[in-house]
Each structure stands twice: as structure tokens, then as C-alpha cells.
Amino acid sequence: MASRGNNILSSEELEYIQQLFAQPEQESEDEVGGWLRVSEDAAGLLEAFSESPRIELQAGWQGHRLRFPLKPRARMDTGEMTLEVGVPEILEGGERSRSWRVPLESEQEMRLVDQSGRLERPRVVNLSYTGMAIEQSAEHLPELDQPLTDLRLVLPGEAEFVRLLGYVVRHTRLDDKKVQLGIRFEPLEDETRDMLGRYILRRHKELQASTR
């Protein structure tokens, strides 16, 4: 489910949702980011799509596109069928778009540890929903497509790490001592996806504000 020529959401609604998800997590775990009400005559159609592996809404926003995952839910209080709006993914580019990558300006901004020992003191260069680029010593070079089974990423302001699974897809030698590696993530669990998504949205908002 996607908007193409005409956005389903207005620019003000998109701005509100973006700000909502960019805020820190609320203390109550029962709160959700938002939901869309479905009319009674469309509820049956929505139920038919409830087993679909992916329902989404796409809309343009500030030179990028936002891709919102939508999950059919019945409200506990009324039983009304709604679409729960998940944390959106920011996309860049045209038809062959990709997840927007957060550039990291400081070595202390984010910590990454590879418990498997295949990476040696990696430094995160950029991060997206689908993967990351890191720099490390050229002396310790993992093979392409080598699985990374226990990556632990600590996001800024977070005490707990996010566990990621992935594999190396690219080597780029920077000089005699350093190499940059491209890492693609395996599909993220919902909780991990939400944590990454909120951080990426917050950084996107900060970078957009700094260029105005």
C-alpha cells in the first residue's frame, strides 16, 4: 500500500509523525506511535490483507521518502480495526532507492563490538536500516560473504547494546593501514528495527535543521 503521485498524508501530518518517532521512547510500553482508523466498509478488505508479510505506506518528505510499515490491529477498547503505524524507514534516490545512511562525525558517537572476533576494533562510519560501513585495520581482513553472527552496537544515549547479524559485502582499502568494510544486515527483529529507526530519524531531523 503506497502513495505515488498524490501523498495520502499532508506535509504537516508527515512532519508530526516524523517528530513523534524522533522523540525518546515513552516510559509506557503500551503506547504506540500512531494508528490509522479504517472505515467499517473497508475493514473486511483490511482483514483479508492481515496475513500479508508486508503492508506499507510511502510518502515524499523533505527530499526523501518515508516508508511506514502498517500492521492491522483491533483496538482493545472498541474492537475497531485500525492500521498501526510503525517507525518509518527513510529512503533516498529514485527508482533504485536505498535506505538513507546516517553519517557519523565522531569516533565516540557509536560503539561496535564483534563478539565473534572477526572484526578488529571496528569504527562505524555510517549506519542505515539495511547495513553499515566500518573502518578497521587492514591487517585483519574478513572474507566477503563471511557471516558476522554476534555484532553488538551501542547507540548514543543507550545503555544496552543492539544485537545484529550480518555479513561482509565489500572491501575498500583506504591506505596501507586501514580498510573500509560494507556490512549488510540480516532482517532485523521488530524491537531492533524500532531502536535503529528512532535513532536514524532523530539524526536526520538534526542534520536537516543544521542546514536550514
Q: What confidence score (pLDDT) does residue 180 get? A: 93
Count each helix (H run) and each strand (E run) in the chain, helices first: 3, 13
Given a contact cutoff of 8 angstroms between Cβ atoms, the answer to whether 3 and 14 are in contact is no
**Average pLDDT of adjacent 10-residue blocks, the chain of 212 residues:** 50 64 47 54 58 70 76 70 77 74 74 86 90 89 84 86 91 89 90 87 80 68
| pLDDT for the residue numbered 5 | 47
Whether this prediction's pTM lies above 0.75 is answered by: no
The residue ranges of DSSP E strands in the chain, in sequence order, are: 35-37, 56-61, 64-74, 81-85, 89-92, 98-99, 102-103, 111-114, 123-127, 131-137, 147-154, 162-173, 178-185
Q: Where are the domains of the chain?
A: 11-100, 102-190
Q: Which CATH superfamily, name and number, covers 102-190?
A: predicted glycosyltransferase like domains (2.40.10.220)
| pLDDT of amino acid 30 | 35
Place of cell 502513495: 3
- Look at residue 94 in the predicted model and tell me its pLDDT: 63
pLDDT at 210: 75
Q: For residues 36 and 85, is the Cβ–Cβ distance under 8 A?
A: yes
